[in-house]
Structure 1
Amino acid sequence: MRNRYLDLLRSLAIVRVVVYHVTGWATLTLIFPAMSVMFALAGSLMAASLDRSGVPAVGRRLRRLLPSLWVLAVVFVPAMLLTGLALTPKVLLWLLPVSDPPANYWGGLALSPIWYLRDYLWFVLASPVALRLFRRAPLPTLLAPYALLAAIEFGVLANPPTLLREFGLYFGAWLLGFAHHEGLLRRTANRVLVPLALALGAAGLGWIFTHPGPRGHDLNDIHLGNALWSAAFILVAIGRAPAGAAWVDRTPVLGRVVTVLNRRALTVYLWHMPFVVALTPLVDVVGWSHQDLLGLAIRVALVFALVGVVTLLVGWVEDRAARRTPELVPGRPRRTLAERAAAAPASPAPAGAGTELATAGARVPGPRRAPERSGRVPG
């Protein structure tokens, strides 16, 4: 049984990512650290998959992840090759992005969200060992990514590989997803969890406001502050997640939107940035600045509309990857067998059949009277 609260949280995270990329508002990263939330939810799902299937769950998770990327690559890699991208063996990274796939000058920006799939892939590969370690020593395992990130930020580890920094930045959120799946967060008393969340949040905000990045207080530029603030957010938003949110489906439109965004999360995530980049020149042509709220609202609406069109065209790939029946728009209510039988039209009697029976003296047999009982119980 799906937890609709977690579905709602994932939907909000996806919407927040798209709106942020259109507007560039750094405040959105503080209000809702969407990427860490998405990694935490993915970590919880990965732990559940490992419990069900063991190590083969890794292959199943990659099978669900990669086809949507391949569809994107079929469109954009040839376009980049025709506009300056060198044809080298590194192009094969578009099949399995264990490192950043190559891109040309415009593709590097339009396809920049690929880093999420790169990190996701490595986190999935590390999960069988990480979950075993987490169950043996939860606290040391959980603290390890944050210690790694602190060592990098304070210069103990100079010039680390990008992937190592990403493990420090986001694998802690993934492990908090493990803690959610194991029930560790739920069992943590409020007198412990709330002060811990407040302390982490205060430390994160303190670091953020004393170490602004090139875009001000944008979490994407302030790694240590990002990790600490995101951990505090996850402890509250996921650690105290309700068992469900039935009210989501009481509003049919909201329930359908949440379902669509969850079933098409990869498609929306991968395809929104090319449209953001394509629409950016309109800012100069039409005169929409980032201070023009109407212009920004129109751009957000246009991006979602274009992503919606692409989702209709290729979103079904996510259904095939998950071995579901492909749907044009997911979430259509499915009637039960009894409901379908009740709704099936009955064959009408031929016209005039009642009159013919009456004139022929036909009689409808009445109910038979039950025979008298002898009073014995059947043996």
Structure 2
Amino acid sequence: MRNRYLDLLRFLAIIRVVVYHVTGWATLTLLFPAMSVMFALAGSLMAASLDRSGVPAVGRRLRRLLPSLWVVAAILVPAMLLTGLPLTPKVLLWAFPVADPPANYWGSLALSVIWYLRDYLWFVFASPLALWLFRRAPWPTLLAPYVLLAAIEVGMLPNAPTVLRDFGLYFGAWLLGFAHHDGLLRRMATRVLVPTALALGAAGAAWIVTHPGPRGYDLNDMPMGNALWSAAFILVAIGRAPASAAWVDGNALLGRAVTVLNRRALTAYLWHMPFVVALTPLVDVVGWSHQDPVGLAIRVALVFALVGVVTVLFGWVEDVAAGRPPELLPGGRPPTAARPGGAPAGGAVVPVSPAPAGQAMVPAPRAPEEYTIKLSAR
């Protein structure tokens, strides 16, 4: 059974990301550190997939992740090649972005969100070993990314590659997802979890206040503050996640919206930034500045409307990648009846996250330059 509370968190995270990119409001990054939350949720799901399928879960995750990127690349990479992007072997990184793929002047902004897929790929590759280590030495494994990030921040690793830096920044959130799946966070006594969250939040806040970036108190400009503040947020928001949130579906409109955006999260994430960039010249023409609340509201509404259109056009690719029947808008059909014994029709085994407290994790049966992409759009 899906945990609708976690679905709601992912729904809110996507909305926050889009609104932030339209408005540029740094406060939003503090109120809801969306990227770390998304990595934590992905880490929990990855742990469930590994428990169900073992190492082959890595390939399955990639098959679910990459097709939506290929759709974007099939449309926008030719457009960049026609507007000045040199045709070099590096263009192949758009098929498998283990490093930042090349882009021209407008593509470096419109496709700046590709960093998320780059990090996601590396985290997926690292997950089998990381989960093995986590279950044998949870606390040292969990602390390792934060120690790495601290070493980079104080200058001990001055030329650290971007991917290594992001392991320090976001892999801790991914590992907190492991902790959520295994029930470690749920089993933490409140008298331990709450002071830990408060201490991390206080340390993160102190770093943020003393290390403001060019955009003020924007978490994207201060990795150490981002990691600590986000860890505190995750401990509270996910560490005390309810087992279910049936009230989400109590409102038909909200329930459908949460379902649609969860099933189309990657499509919405990949396509919203090109629309933000494309609307900028129009915004200048009609005078919708960032200081105009009505203009900002219109811009946000337009971006969401365009994302809705592209979701209808291309979102079904996520269904095909996940082995589901393609739908224009998910959630319109009643759930498939379960087979005897609790397995859903089709033979798929639904991963349970978090894992039942105290139970061993047993794998279930397998079911039948050019410009370099900028990394500030988070």
TM-score (norm: length of structure 2): 0.88
Once residues 185 and 262 of structure 1 are traced to their aligned partners in structure 2, the CA distance between those partners, rounded to angstroms, is 24
One-letter code aligned to 1:203: A
Pair 1:5 & 2:19 matched: no
Q: Summarize deviations over 1:190-236 as a string: whole Å, max 9, x none.
A: 00000000000000011001100011110000000000000000000
One-letter code aligned to 1:54: G
SS of aligned partner of 2:86? coil
Match of 2:277 in 1: 277
One-letter code aligned to 2:180: H
Q: Summarize deviations over 1:80-129 as a string: whole Å, max 9, x none.
A: 00000000000000110000010000000000000000000000000000
Once residues 335 and 264 of structure 2 are traced to their aligned partners in structure 1, the CA distance between those partners, rounded to angstroms, is 23
TM-score (norm: length of structure 1): 0.88
Once residues 333 and 3 of structure 2 are traced to their aligned partners in structure 1, the CA distance between those partners, rounded to angstroms, is 18
* Displacement after TM superposition at 1:282 (Å): 2.3
Match of 1:167 in 2: 167
The RMSD of aligned alpha carbons is 0.9
Match of 1:294 in 2: 294
Match of 1:327 in 2: 327
* Displacement after TM superposition at 1:12 (Å): 0.1
In structure 2, do the counterparts of structure 1 residues 336 and 218 end up closer, same or farther at CA, with 3 Å as the change threshold?
Answer: closer
* Displacement after TM superposition at 1:335 (Å): 7.4
Gaps of 5+ in 1: 338-379
* Displacement after TM superposition at 1:336 (Å): 7.3
Query: Which structure has the higher relative contact order (CA within 8 Å, separation 6+)?
Result: 2
Once residues 189 and 211 of structure 1 are traced to their aligned partners in structure 2, the CA distance between those partners, rounded to angstroms, is 33
Pair 1:106 & 2:106 matched: yes
Correspondences of 1:222-233 after superposition (within 5 Å): 222-233=222-233
* Displacement after TM superposition at 1:287 (Å): 1.2
Correspondences of 1:1-379 after superposition (within 5 Å): 1-334=1-334
Q: Summarize deviations over 1:279-320 as a string: whole Å, max 9, x none.
A: 111232111111111000000000000011111000000000
* Displacement after TM superposition at 1:159 (Å): 1.7
SS of aligned partner of 2:103? coil
One-letter code aligned to 2:174: W
Once residues 293 and 227 of structure 1 are traced to their aligned partners in structure 2, the CA distance between those partners, rounded to angstroms, is 31
Gaps of 5+ in 2: 338-378
One-letter code aligned to 1:24: G
Once residues 179 and 307 of structure 2 are traced to their aligned partners in structure 1, the CA distance between those partners, rounded to angstroms, is 34
Once residues 23 and 107 of structure 1 are traced to their aligned partners in structure 2, the CA distance between those partners, rounded to angstroms, is 20
Once residues 266 and 336 of structure 1 are traced to their aligned partners in structure 2, the CA distance between those partners, rounded to angstroms, is 24
Match of 1:360 in 2: none
Q: How many residues align?
A: 337
In structure 2, do the counterparts of structure 1 residues 133 and 29 end up closer, same or farther at CA, with 3 Å as the change threshold?
Answer: same
One-letter code aligned to 2:77: V
Rg larger in structure = 1
Once residues 81 and 33 of structure 2 are traced to their aligned partners in structure 1, the CA distance between those partners, rounded to angstroms, is 35
Match of 1:369 in 2: none
